[in-house]
Amino acid sequence: MVIVEYVNNRICSYGTGTAADLLPSPSAVTVGSFDGIHLGHRRIIAKMLSIARERSLRSVVVTFEPHPRKVLKSEEEASFGLLCSLEEKIGLLSSLDVDLLFIVRFTREFAARSSEDFIRHVLFGILGARNVVVGYDHGFGNRRSGSGKTLSALGGELGFQVEVIDEVRIAGEHISSTRIRKLLESGMIAEANALLGSAYMLSGRVVHGDKRGRLLGFPTVNIELADPDKLLPKSGVYAARTTISGISMKAMLNIGFRPTISADGPRSIEAHILDYNGSLYGNAMLFSLDSFIREERRFASLEELRVQLEKDKKTVESYC
């Protein structure tokens, strides 16, 4: 997948591509924030990819970084957690076999551009759109004035076709990033994963901790999130998976304040990787959360905590 960044009305970085990759080329295009790449997003992207294959077009996903809500909303409203970091989004889109990811660096100046200008200059002029696929509730441009109707009107003039995808519902309920956030904040990881279409991910770098887990017989890696805006699910213990040197491994991952060990302190992420004893300090790691095991709680002693960790380990072994 070729990755290109668009900043201040010009191509700023070619990522994994070259200038030649940006020559206008007949393309099937979809546009959106795509936070989480959930099942609703996947249906839109799948339709775009299907059109690209059928008509021998380049497949293009246009997305925004940072998330527009982070730029346009008040400080309180902008504090919502992201379902995926940019790096995680890139990984998910790459696995879907998208040809080109076009990342628009979102600013208030960019938001002030009219939807017509964005369609003419970016979608048609730079990307060579011949088919554009969007969701039923898609809005873009100044005050989100652009819609499927706007696209269709300009498509008739410029020569591209537009397809609007209906909402996706499971068990009668609408799939949305907001709904998934609520599930994660309630510890309903299995339900959130079902709507995402893949396991929820936490990624970051391994940093030094207080090494208390090693004394309990459960050495852990402490993770500093790659994106501080990433949504942390409900505090507790999770069954998770990670990959080390190409090998998938089970992990017992804890999110929370470690009340047995520390009276106060910041919320943290640490994971005990089953059957692994090597050093991972400084490494970038990604954990996929499979199941919620139990609530975080304070134990009367470290020995009581160790006994519970043994039980948690057996549960994780049986879960994933």
11: its two tokens = 């191509």
Residues 155 and 299 in one domain: no
Instruction: List the one residue out of 33, 8, 24 whose CA is nearest residue 160.
Output: 24
Predicted confidence (pLDDT) per residue in 166-205, tens digit:
888 877 778 999 999 999 999 999 999 999 999 999 999 9
- Largest alpha-carbon pair distance within the chain? 73
Residue 233: CB atoms within 10 A of its CB come to 22
Report how many domains make up the chain.
Answer: 2
Is the pLDDT at 216 greater than 80? The verdict is no
- Residue after which a domain boundary falls, among 116, 151, 170: 170
Q: Which of 192, 189, 320 is nearest to 251 (CA)?
A: 320
**9 belongs to a structural domain:** yes
Residue 190 covered by a domain = no
Cα separation, 101 vs 57, in Å, equals 14
Residue ending a domain, choose from 125, 152, 170? 170
Non-local CB neighbours of 206 within 8 Å, separated by 6+ positions = 221, 222, 223, 224, 280, 281, 282, 283, 285
Residues 27 and 152 reside in one and the same domain: yes
Do 123 and 257 lie in one domain? The reply is: no
What SS3 class is residue 75? coil
- The answer on pLDDT for 213 being more than 70 is no
Q: Is residue 187 part of a domain?
A: no
Residue 320 scores a pLDDT above 90: no
- Residue 210 sits in the same domain as residue 115: no
Note whether 13 and 154 are same-domain residues: yes
Q: Averaged over 268-289, what is the pLDDT?
A: 94
Q: 121-144, pLDDT tens digit by residue?
A: 999 999 999 999 998 877 665 555
For residues 147 and 207, state if they share a domain: no
46-50, 218-222, 236-240, range with the lowest pLDDT: 218-222
> Within 10 A of 289 (CB to CB), how many other CB atoms are there?
23
Residue 297 has a pLDDT of 87
Please indicate, yes or no, whether residues 72 and 133 belong to a single structural domain of this protein: yes
pLDDT for 182: 95
pLDDT bracket for residue 316 (50, 70, 90): very high
Mean pLDDT of the residues in the chain: 89
Residue 79 within a domain: yes
| Same domain (yes/no): 34, 73 | yes
For the segment 275-299, the average pLDDT, to the nearest whole number, is 93
Residue 302 has pLDDT above 70, yes or no: yes
Spatial separation of the C-alpha atoms in residues 314 and 239, rounded to whole Å: 10
- Residue 144 falls within a domain, yes or no? yes
The answer to whether position 177 is within a domain reads: no
Range of the domain at 109: 2-170
| Residue 23, domain member (yes or no) | yes
* 213 and 252 fall within a common domain: yes
pLDDT for 174 equals 84
Q: Is residue 136 part of a domain?
A: yes
Q: Based on the fold, state whether residues 22 and 131 are members of the same structural domain.
A: yes
CATH of the domain at 124: 3.40.50.620
pLDDT at 64 over 80: yes
Do 206 and 61 belong to one domain? no
pTM: 0.89
Axis crossing angle, helix 189-196 with helix 177-185, rounded to the nearest 10? 160
At 214, which CATH number?
2.40.30.30
Per the DSSP assignment, residues forming a β-bridge with 221 are 271
Residues 16 and 140 occupy one common structural domain: yes
